[in-house]
Amino acid sequence: MNILKKKSFKELFKKYSVIEEKTEIDIVLEDQYKKAYELLEDAETSQLTPILVGPPGVGKTLLCRYYAQKHKKPFYWLTMDESTKPVHLIGGFDPAIAIKEGFSVNSYVPGPLVNAMLEGGYFLANELNRSTEYAQNTFLEPLEERSIYIPRLGRIKANDEFFMICSMNPAELSGTHRISEALKDRIKVWIPLKYPNKSTELKIIRANCPESDIPEDMLESIYQIIHRTRLDSDVEQPASIRAGIAIARLASLQAKKNGEYSNRALSFASKHVLFGSIKARPGVRSEDVSNKIIKSILGV
């Protein structure tokens, strides 16, 4: 009898713990990504706070992680939303230790912003405009004075190396708040990231499917499909770079199983990825729009 022996949580935790980011982050650094990278460096040198602005999945977070790795700096980040509170950024007291030892540095668990300020690292406020003005206000003092007040402990000054980067989806997307005027006035370098041009996007898809050797004409069709979702007036939220990567991976697996690449297999993969990857305008079904686009390009 084959009995599956379950490993304990402790064993599994030890085995899969990530102490620090050891793997080299692989990124296609050309065109807009190179420009954005250089602008981040210029912003840091001139001590101005930058913000990357672009639709979901365009590579904002990846670029920041890569930037931190290249500069060998500690990197902290928080993806914000309407339930993000100042405590998630600056930290708070551990109740068990605070009961024993009182409110002191011993019982304080710093948040990612405070860690980055003390260690002289980078802090990425990811999707800044999804947070409320209440949470956004936490950044005013660090950006203006390079200091922050920790309740009951006092005020700390940031290490000279501390640098904050922000990212946001364009404001017209639903589900976002506005960036408060006070904070907007302290963010000085606005860096747009759009869907990349064709040759860069194809390089990104290839780089993210290293194990498969997708034929050029298949890649071309994948690009045509995702590109069309970005032009179609029935589509409100088009396919991201991630969607293109997913289609390529699924299609190459289909090809391996079938022994050959075919439009039918690519159509199958595209339908299953686009189904939930795009959002159609009100009154139109996403499935119908994606099927229409796929058929017009692949014929099936």
Binding footprint of ligand ADP on the chain (CB under 6 A): 27-28, 33, 54, 56-62, 204, 207-208, 241-242, 245
Check binding of 81 to Mg ion (CB under 5 A): no
Which of the listed partners (Mg ion, ligand ADP, none) does 28 bind, with a CB threshold of 5 to 8 Å by partner kind?
ligand ADP
- Give me 283's structure tokens: 């009154």
Q: Which is nearer to Mg ion, 218 or 243 (CB)?
A: 243
Q: In angstroms, rounded to a whole number, what is the distance separating the alpha carbons of residues 148 and 126?
A: 19
Q: Residue 224 corresponds to which amino acid?
A: Q
Rounded to the nearest whole angstrom, what is the least distance from the CB of residue 72 to ligand ADP in the complex?
A: 20
Cβ atoms within 10 Å of 291's Cβ, excluding its own: 16
Residues in the chain: 300
Residue with CB nearest Mg ion?
61
Rounded to the nearest whole angstrom, what is the least distance from the CB of residue 247 to ligand ADP in the complex?
A: 13
Rounded to the nearest whole angstrom, what is the least distance from the CB of residue 190 to ligand ADP in the complex?
A: 15
- E-strand ranges in the chain read 49-53, 75-79, 91-93, 108-110, 122-126, 147-150, 154-157, 163-168, 187-192, 235-237, 279-280
Cβ neighbours of residue 84 closer than 8 Å, sequence gap 6 or more:
78, 130, 131, 132, 135
- Give me 101's structure tokens: 């030892």
Rounded to the nearest whole angstrom, what is the least distance from the CB of residue 58 to Mg ion in the complex?
A: 9
Rounded to the nearest whole angstrom, what is the least distance from the CB of residue 119 to ligand ADP in the complex?
A: 23
Which of the listed partners (Mg ion, ligand ADP, none) does 113 bind, with a CB threshold of 5 to 8 Å by partner kind?
none
- Which span sits near Mg ion by CB under 5 A: 60-68, 90-98, 175-183, 189-197? 60-68
Which of residues 31, 41, 61, 224 is near Mg ion by CB under 5 A?
61
Burial (0-12, 13-18, 19+ Cβ within 10 Å), 221? buried
Residues in contact with Mg ion by the rule CB under 5 A: 61
